[in-house]
Amino acid sequence: MIPDTTNARAKTRIVVLISGSGSNLQAFIDARDNRQLDADLVAVISNRPEATGLERAARAGITSRVIDHQAYPQRLDFDRTLAAAVADYKPDLVILAGFMRILSAEFVDRFSGRMLNIHPSLLPKYPGLNTHQRALDAGDNEAGTTVHFVTSQLDGGPPIVQGAVPIISGDSAADIAARVLGVEHVIFPMAAQWYCEGRLSMQDGATLLDGEVLAPTGRTFEA
Ligand code: GAR
């Protein structure tokens, strides 16, 4: 008998952009395999040919592509090539998982409302680079990470969920990064799953979750 699929909902198609180790990509692969993430990981795209995350994609049988930004002297040419490559896979959701290129407004607008980033700080603190060292230098007693919608403002789109970790006396930035990654691997697939379930959207520059406008720092994740 042919199953009646008239009302079957197609799975959310996710394209993941990476630049490096891809441990967050691995968290998405694991969440999919454990059925905590009801999505198809349709492609991984890296701007760096040597990104070890590409090996994670290969091991998981996910199609991958490299679009090396160094081959594009003009940022906009890189962005347009990348946008076309992403669009080829017809994604419902684009995940920036340690993707270390600033994207043009043209790129961001094309995927507006369906692109999530993870940034290793408790935004609005420390947008940009070297977040953990900056938290140490400021004498902070906690660090953390934020999943947020991507807008053309660098690390400035509306937050969805944040997770904090303590800074312990004697910590190096690398110690903090390792602790933060542990939280990222939980909250990033979790936020993506909210999107897959149709619970999450960006509206008028704010995050809407289950019909509720979230506070400017998003939901707080408690481990
Ligand atoms: C993660 O900690 C992520 O928050 C950060 O890069 C790391 C990537 O790790 N992203 C940014 O700094 C973006 N501005 P991964 O490659 O192992 O997932």
User: pLDDT tens digits, the chain, 223 residues: what are they?
Assistant: 555 556 667 999 999 999 999 999 999 999 999 999 999 999 999 999 999 999 999 999 999 999 999 999 999 999 999 999 999 999 999 999 999 999 999 999 999 999 999 999 999 999 999 999 999 999 999 999 999 999 999 999 999 999 999 999 999 999 999 999 999 999 999 999 999 999 999 999 999 999 999 999 999 999 7
**Strand pairing partners for 116?**
95, 149
Amino acid of residue 68 = D
Q: Taking the CA atoms of the chain, what radius of gyration do you get in angstroms?
A: 17
Task: Select from 28, 119, 130 the residue to mutate for testing ligand 1; criterion: most ligand atoms less than 8 Å from CB.
Answer: 119
In this prediction, residue 3 carries a pLDDT of 58
CATH number belonging to domain 12-220:
3.40.50.170
Q: Is the peptide bond before 124 cis (omega within 30 degrees of 0)?
A: yes
Predicted TM-score (pTM) of the model is 0.96
Collapse the DSSP code of 135 into the 3-class scheme (helix H, G, I; strand E, B; otherwise coil) and give the result.
helix
The C-alpha atoms of residue 64 and residue 110 are separated, in whole angstroms, by 21
The alpha carbon of 118 and the centre of ligand 1 are apart by a number of angstroms equal to 7
Task: Select from 161, 184, 187, 188 the residue to mutate for testing ligand 1; criterion: most ligand atoms less than 8 Å from CB.
Answer: 184
Q: Where are the domains of the chain?
A: 12-220
In this prediction, residue 1 carries a pLDDT of 53
Atom of ligand 1 nearest to the CA of 24: 18
Atom of ligand 1 nearest to the CA of 131: 12
Give the total residue count for the chain. Answer: 223
In this prediction, residue 2 carries a pLDDT of 59
The alpha carbon of 35 and the centre of ligand 1 are apart by a number of angstroms equal to 23
Atom of ligand 1 nearest to the CA of 119: 4
Pocket of ligand 1 (CB under 6 A): 18, 20-24, 53, 97-98, 100, 118-120, 145, 181, 184
In this prediction, residue 185 carries a pLDDT of 98
